Amino acid sequence: MPSNFVYIKDIIPTIDLDIRYFSNQNFTGNPIRGYERPVAILTKRAAFALQQVQLDLNKKGLGLKIFDAYRPQRAVDHFKAWSLVTSDTLAKQEFYPQLDKKDLFKLGFIASKSGHSRGSTVDLTLIDLKAQKEIDMGGPFDFFGAISHHNYTKLTAKQKQNRKILRETMAKFGFVAYDKEWWHYTLKDEPYRKTYFDFLVK
């Protein structure tokens, strides 16, 4: 691991991790290449900014749960190879029931390069600290569809408020949202804007 990267748990011991690409619980239905341990890695700059987010949320009885952080380029290549095998629809019903798999690239849900590989992008949600469970964001992580968009209107007032809390707190400490995925944020002042890393998550 490059010296400017850290394990998020070392910086934020209280953070929850649910590293989906280490498991079968993702849109391919299988573990993803490059994930050898269920750990989360970020650049130091992004990890310390995220620490501030966690501390701010804790005052409201909330905390963060991370689904993915740094992602090796080989994992992105795995997604691309998977998308070309149109007969492999193992997890379609859960993650992209209304979409044709061959359209996932065109619609912006999968790309040949990912900001995650630059090390300062993170996928996450909010948890209620007292209940120790995720709060309702109106749609699940990695769901490919309009419900995942920030501007999706058919949400309850509470779901809209929950997304707003996450977005505003992340923005407060320098993270920019991705319009098509309510869980996806990139540090505005990321240190590696043009470098796509491929070291293992281990």
What is the DSSP pairing of strand 16-17 with strand 62-68?
Answer: parallel
Q: What domains are defined for the chain?
A: 5-187 (3.30.1380.10)
CA distance 137 to 95: 15
Choose, from 36, 94, 134, 181, the residue flagged as catalytic: 181
Say if residue 165's pLDDT is above 90. yes
25 Cβ neighbours under 8 A, 6+ residues apart:
none
Q: Phi/psi at 21 (nearest 5 deg)?
A: -80, -5
Closest CA to 19 of 105, 109, 108, 116: 116
Measured in residues, the chain has a length of: 202
pLDDT, tens digit, 9 for 90 and up, residues 21-64: 999 999 999 999 999 999 999 999 999 999 999 999 999 999 99
pLDDT, tens digit, 9 for 90 and up, residues 114-154: 999 999 999 999 999 999 999 999 999 999 999 999 999 99
pLDDT, tens digit, 9 for 90 and up, residues 170-195: 999 999 999 999 999 999 999 999 99
Q: 106: pLDDT confidence band, cut at 50, 70 and 90? A: confident
Show the tokens assigned to 10. Answer: 């070392």
CA distance 42 to 60: 25
Quick check: is 181 catalytic? yes
CA distance 105 to 12: 34
Show the tokens assigned to 106. Answer: 């065109």
What is the DSSP pairing of strand 121-128 with strand 62-68?
Answer: antiparallel
